[in-house]
Structure 1
Amino acid sequence: MTIRATNQARVLPLRPFPAPAGPAPSREPLWRDLVGDVLRRERLSQGRTLKDVADAARISMAYLSEVERGRKEASSEVLAAAAQALGLSLADVLALAQGELIRLSGARSRSLGAGRAGHPGRQAGPMGGVLLAA
């Protein structure tokens, strides 16, 4: 085996390969997408610009844009600053994101039939346990 072949065998793709044509399999929503959607929705509902909120939060406009689009996984400090700039607490943002996660997960479960634990209406966690909302 050549060095090139050896190196190629060890490469793991960071992104999934494009899905084949046809209906896309449903996937779990990413937390960064949910939080970004909440921040963008709240900013737009207040009629504020990205620059205005970024300046108030003392973070770069480019970074806030990436967080809103789910491209960056923001730290709790950045999320708290963005939330405060929008007149919200970090708990408010996380609760809104959790509500969206529950809504999306419920729709996903209904489309799949019974929950993964085998009980209709119950949400199973990634290890088979039931998810509890706080």
Structure 2
Amino acid sequence: MTFRATNQARARVTPLRPVPAAPGREPLWRDLVGDVLRRERLAQGLRLKDVADVARISMAYLSEVERGRKEASSEVLAAAAQALGLSLADVLALAQGELIRLSGARSRSLGAGRAGHPGRPAGPGAGPMGDVRLAA
């Protein structure tokens, strides 16, 4: 194959980590949870293998969960959390905090906060269903 032919046949690159949510697009829960698990694992200086072994899940699957490529069951998330010395509630609360942070940044970038959005009640818990709570 010549240099010219190689140049013309460009490969399409797909990033392993999804691009951050664009304005108007909600972040995915699996990305948030995966980020929390990876951040906690790295903060503790643990290898992927260490956590996977203690959680009794495959290293490849845990890697995919951390990268937001797989939507893990609550059992898998609880096992990974326990392997990190956390509860499932801890992991979900950290992911919820990140979701709130990202949603707030997204609202500010769109120029409309909760109170400024037409048709949306102002203030936390003012919606028809009240506060959103995550149950583990």
**Which TM-score applies when normalising by structure 1?**
0.70
Distance between the aligned counterparts of 1:128 and 1:10, measured in 2? 45
Compute the displacement of 1:27 (Å): 1.4
Compute the displacement of 1:121 (Å): 13
Distance between the aligned counterparts of 2:20 and 2:66, measured in 1? 28
Structure 1, unmatched stretches of 5+, are none
Distance between the aligned counterparts of 1:33 and 1:40, measured in 2? 10
Question: What percent of counterpart residues are identical?
Answer: 92
CA contact (8 A) 1:38 1:93 kept: yes
Compute the displacement of 1:114 (Å): 1.4
Compute the displacement of 1:11 (Å): 24
Compute the displacement of 1:113 (Å): 1.1
**Which TM-score applies when normalising by structure 2?**
0.69
Q: Which string of whole-angstrom CA distances, capped at 9 and with x for unpartnered residues, describes residues 58-112 of structure 1?
A: 0000000000000000000000000000000000000000000000000000000
Corresponding residue for 2:41?
A: 43
Distance between the aligned counterparts of 1:59 and 1:4, measured in 2? 47
CA contact (8 A) 1:37 1:68 kept: yes
CA contact (8 A) 2:16 2:67 kept: no
Taking a change above 3 Å as real, the CA distance of residues 89 and 13 of structure 1, as seen in their structure-2 partners, is: closer
CA contact (8 A) 1:39 1:68 kept: yes
CA contact (8 A) 1:80 1:90 kept: yes
Distance between the aligned counterparts of 1:6 and 1:129, measured in 2? 56
Q: Which string of whole-angstrom CA distances, capped at 9 and with x for unpartnered residues, describes residues 26-71 of structure 1?
A: 4110000000000000000000000000000000000000000000
CA contact (8 A) 1:113 1:120 kept: no
Corresponding residue for 1:11?
A: 13
Corresponding residue for 2:123?
A: none
Taking a change above 3 Å as real, the CA distance of residues 20 and 80 of structure 1, as seen in their structure-2 partners, is: closer
Alignment coverage as a number of residue pairs: 129
Structure 2, unmatched stretches of 5+, are 121-125
Higher RCO structure (Cα 8 Å, ≥6 apart):
2
RMSD over aligned CA atoms reads 7.7
Distance between the aligned counterparts of 2:40 and 2:52, measured in 1? 13
